């Protein structure tokens, strides 16, 4: 794990957000990309597999788990709370075997839980322990320490959780202490966030009665689907306004189960966009999760004229998956409506790269949530486009990119700001732009997609060390 320089008082995504040993890297215009991209397991489902497996009674066996730094932090945290988690097998035959504590029976951790760069793990664990009558301290790297936690702490306070200690503005390090008996609430989400939804539902697992989350805009639904798989009564109802009401029954047994984690559509996005923008490419991406709460990027790319063949749709472990074949395409700019944001929230940086190679303007609307990701992604993407001479305009909650299908840009260095998706997106850009694109630090890629560089190189992508 890379130690992180921790400086004080930064807003998300300032220049202080860089690994202690940064790895500068560049991508250069490459020949056609060809072959099969074996994308690692979905990060959201991997986190939930560890948490629900760790909380369940009995044994869970997880295949396809993402072994990125974010998930490794979740594994460490779950072990600190009493779960036994062991990796068995090697290479293509790995199974993570989890013996859970049983619902209601987590142990108080001996020390602070360090979540590194992972907002998802941090917020889900706040919910998980938020209804336990002990102290838990949360720490993280400079990026995570600048992200808002009030969105999770607010509903937890309603459930009886005390904030023992917190930095100004609800920033890490934070210590919380749950009530002796938690109050099951009905909570309407003020932001479209699967992390907040999941945190409240997780706290509800240790509260007597029914805990309900109302989400006006559907966000990724892995928590509610997977909890049902672990045997928890969950109901999902749609009201007259189209809002989803998700209810869990607290203090119910979770029963260990087997989980096959599908390929992460958010990681597949980098190989997909690379194949679309590098002339002559044809890349096969098998087994990608096609859960409709996650496929907004594919919908958008298809509207832009992308040649993406979707074959062999099937079910695996309760999720729909499919095999994609992606060919180089002449893209055209589109308007991406705000309503689609939740289903592609992590994919805007790489969409901006696709847009840079599209004919005309691409307008991304209603994307204010990008400002509180691993970096301020709106600002980070705009700065990267600027450094490489791509025409664009940035608003408070929108981004407009004017493309150049010839890719007559590049030559800049992008500040990655401890943000894996900024790093990977701009490396993808450099594979097709006239001049190379450099990033100041490739180290954050290991948080979600440790195989990114060898996998892309195997398809024909050319990367080199940068100064
Ligand atoms: C995630 C939810 C999203 C997403 C993150 C993973 C999850 O965050 O950006 O990468 O697994 O629940 P928000 O819920 O804050 O939008």
Structural domains in the chain?
Answer: 25-41+262-465 (3.65.10.10), 43-260 (3.65.10.10)
pLDDT in tens, 71-123: 999 999 999 999 999 999 998 899 999 999 999 999 999 999 999 999 999 99
Angle at 410 between CA 408 and CA 415, to 5 degrees: 155
pLDDT tens, position by position, 354-394? 999 999 999 999 999 999 999 999 999 999 999 999 999 99
Report whether residue 362 contacts ligand 1, using a CB cutoff of 6 Å: no
Q: Choose the residue to mutate in 47, 66, 119 for probing ligand 1, maximizing ligand atoms within 8 Å of C-beta.
A: 119
44 CB near ligand 1 (under 6 Å)? yes
Residue nearest to atom 13 of ligand 1 (CA): 193
Please give the sequence-ordered ranges of beta strands (E in DSSP) within 105-251, or none if there are none. Answer: 113-114, 135-139, 162-167, 171-177, 186-188, 210-215, 234-238, 244-249
CA dihedral 182, 51, 163, 208 (to 10 degrees): 0
419 carries an active-site annotation: no
Report whether 177 contacts 183 (CB < 8 A): no
b/e sequence 401-425, b meaning 16+ C-beta within 10 Å: bbbbeebebbebbbbbbbbbbbbbb
Task: Give the predicted TM-score (pTM) of the model.
Answer: 0.96
Whole-number pLDDT of residue 5: 34
Find the catalytic residue in 70, 141, 221, 346: 346
Question: What's residue 300's pLDDT?
Answer: 99
Is the Cβ atom of 206 under 6 angstroms away from ligand 1?
Answer: no
Does 42 contact ligand 1 (Cβ within 6 A)?
no
Ligand 1 contact via 149 beta carbon (within 6 Å): no
Q: What number does the ligand 1 atom closest to the CA of 47 have?
A: 11
Q: Whose CA is nearest to atom 11 of ligand 1?
A: 44
Looking at residue 367, its pLDDT comes to: 98
Confidence band of 227 (pLDDT split at 50, 70, 90): very high
Is residue 228's pLDDT more than 80? Answer: yes
Does residue 447 line the site of ligand 1, with CB under 6 A? no
* Å from CA of 118 to ligand 1 middle: 10
pLDDT tens digit sequence for 162-204: 999 999 999 999 999 999 999 999 999 999 999 999 999 999 9
Q: How far is the CA of 193 from the centre of ligand 1 (A)?
A: 6
- Asked whether 194 lines ligand 1 (CB < 6 A), one says yes
- Compute the distance from residue 171 Cα to the ligand 1 centre, in Å: 18
If phi > 0 it is left, if psi is from -120 to 50 it is alpha, else beta; for residue 274 that is alpha
Q: How far is the CA of 194 from the centre of ligand 1 (A)?
A: 6
């Amino acid at each position: 794990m890379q130690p992180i320089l921790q400086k004080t008082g930064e807003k998300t995504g300032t220049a202080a957000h860089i690994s202690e040993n940064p790895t500068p890297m560049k991508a250069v215009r490459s020949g056609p990309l060809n072959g099969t991209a074996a994308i690692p397991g979905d990060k959201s489902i991997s986190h939930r597999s560890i948490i629900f497996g760790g909380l369940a009674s009995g044994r869970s066996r997880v295949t396809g788990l993402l072994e990125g730094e974010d998930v490794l932090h979740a594994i460490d945290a779950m072990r600190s709370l009493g779960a036994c988690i062991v990796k068995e097998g090697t290479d293509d035959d790995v199974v993570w075997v989890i013996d859970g504590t049983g619902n209601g029976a987590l142990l108080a951790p001996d020390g602070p839980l360090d979540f590194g760069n992972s907002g998802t793990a941090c917020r889900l664990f706040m919910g998980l322990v938020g209804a336990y009558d002990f102290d838990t301290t949360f720490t993280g790297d400079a990026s995570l320490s600048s992200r808002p936690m009030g969105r999770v702490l607010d509903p937890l306070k309603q459930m009886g959780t005390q904030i023992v200690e917190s930095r100004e503005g609800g920033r890490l390090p934070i210590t919380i202490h749950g009530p002796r008996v938690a109050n099951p609430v009905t909570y309407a989400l003020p932001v479209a966030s699967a992390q907040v939804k999941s945190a409240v539902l997780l706290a509800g697992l240790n509260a007597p009665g029914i805990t309900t989350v109302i989400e006006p805009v559907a966000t990724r639904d892995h928590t509610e689907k997977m909890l049902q798989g672990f045997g928890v009564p969950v109901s999902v109802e749609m009201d007259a306004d189209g809002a989803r009401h998700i209810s869990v029954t607290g203090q119910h047994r979770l029963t260990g189960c087997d989980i096959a984690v599908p390929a992460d559509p958010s990681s597949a996005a980098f190989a997909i966009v690379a194949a679309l923008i590098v002339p002559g490419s044809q890349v096969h991406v098998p087994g990608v999760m096609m859960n409709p709460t996650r496929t907004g990027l594919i919908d958008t790319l298809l509207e832009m004229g992308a040649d993406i063949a979707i074959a062999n749709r099937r079910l695996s472990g309760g999720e729909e998956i499919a095999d994609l074949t992606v060919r180089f395409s002449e893209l055209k700019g589109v308007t991406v409506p705000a309503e689609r944001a939740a289903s592609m929230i992590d994919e805007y940086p790489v969409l901006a790269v696709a847009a840079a190679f599209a004919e005309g303007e691409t307008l991304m609307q209603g994307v204010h949530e990008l400002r509180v990701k691993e970096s301020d992604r709106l600002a980070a993407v705009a700065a990267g486009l600027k450094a490489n001479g791509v025409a664009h305009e940035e608003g408070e909650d929108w981004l407009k990119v004017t493309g150049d299908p010839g890719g007559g840009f590049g030559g800049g260095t992008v500040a990655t700001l401890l943000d894996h998706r900024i790093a990977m997106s701009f490396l993808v850009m450099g594979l097709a732009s006239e001049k190379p694109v450099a990033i100041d630090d490739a180290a954050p890629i290991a948080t979600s997609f440790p195989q990114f560089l060898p996998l892309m190189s195997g398809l024909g992508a050319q990367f080199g060390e940068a100064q």
